[in-house]
Structure 1
């Protein structure tokens, strides 16, 4: 109680009336102008915008997830440590080969490499393991030599693959559930097949055509 009383007794009351103030502008009465100025002090207005291409054939959750991934905004171990959280071990909980960043989880982890090799073989796209960033991967797919429709399908597959890899990581970390690579690949095929059939006009694609990725488009 004495510890609480001491700082209270040091406060001096004034005869002026109360006013609303905005953080960092305590010496001024509240105004909308100061609210607008506050974000500009924390943002680099000269930084390049995120040129992420949204794909409505992928689920909304997976598309939003990858958008956040590009700027390292997902809660990987390294990202949490950089935000000030007390994370003692930031190594990848799946392979243990490197620090757990977004790029590592979704591209560089040994399990992720195996999944992308299988996806590359299935869809006949260049080896994904040669790229160094998520942006580079998505750009490579969008600028490929396939038809516009197939490129959009491949883009949706890439987005869903990263989302499923992230969910698998969370299962491993929080529940100890371990899934085989083949199970993850089957999940990717099923999820993307249903997504394209439901969200695009290509509802006549058969499961066999999708599994063989034999699409005449």
Structure 2
């Protein structure tokens, strides 16, 4: 405004505490030192020599990072299991449930990410649902009840679900065992 800068903040809540006030003052100081240029925004592609985004460069970058010949994991949507349980396990397979490790990875400041139940490892979805001592005991009981071979609780969720789908049982029995596994993970 008139050659100067005025910052009009529209925060959802008021600043809380001295630390936030100090951070706000520091932000304002840095912004005052920054030269604002009034040009159109441009998208750049960091993996491209031309620095201009195009689909060819995006595909090339992805193919360098992924094995395109590897078969993608296909989650089994079992109609015998409740939808909320299926959705939870689907997210857990991809480590997208709010465990302390996932929250820390998402920017939440957590000092301790060790499992609060057993204290033996970081709290990940695989740990909580399979590898934690509590989860292992639950799986031992499920194995006894369903009369299936021992569940591999040392692996990951994808491996366990694949093992259950590969059991030498009738189709209906595999579907029932899969639904039990889904509901067990939801309950844990």
- TM-score between the two structures when normalised by the length of structure 2: 0.66
The answer for the alignment partner of 1:123 in structure 2 is: 146
Q: Within the alignment, does 1:53 sit opposite 2:76 as a pair? A: yes
SS of equivalent to 1:158: helix
Structure 1: state its 5+ residue gaps: 26-33, 166-217
The answer for the alignment partner of 1:87 in structure 2 is: 110
Q: 1:87 to 1:36 in 2, by over 3 A?
A: farther
- In the aligned structure 2, how far is the partner of 1:53 from the partner of 1:135? 10
- In the aligned structure 2, how far is the partner of 1:146 from the partner of 1:68? 27
Structure ranking higher on relative contact order (CA contacts 8 Å, 6+ apart):
1
The answer for the alignment partner of 2:127 in structure 1 is: 104
- TM-score between the two structures when normalised by the length of structure 1: 0.58
- In the aligned structure 2, how far is the partner of 1:12 from the partner of 1:113? 59
- In the aligned structure 2, how far is the partner of 1:102 from the partner of 1:39? 31
Structure 2: state its 5+ residue gaps: 1-5, 7-27, 46-52
The answer for the alignment partner of 2:156 in structure 1 is: 133
Deviations 1:91-137 (A, max 9, x none): 10111122111111001111111111111111111111455121121
The structure where helix makes up a greater share of residues is 1
Computed over aligned residues only, the root mean square deviation of the Cα atoms, in angstroms, reads 3.2
Q: Which moved more, 1:129-138 or 1:149-158?
A: 129-138
4+ long deviations beyond 3 Å: 1-8, 10-13, 21-25, 34-48
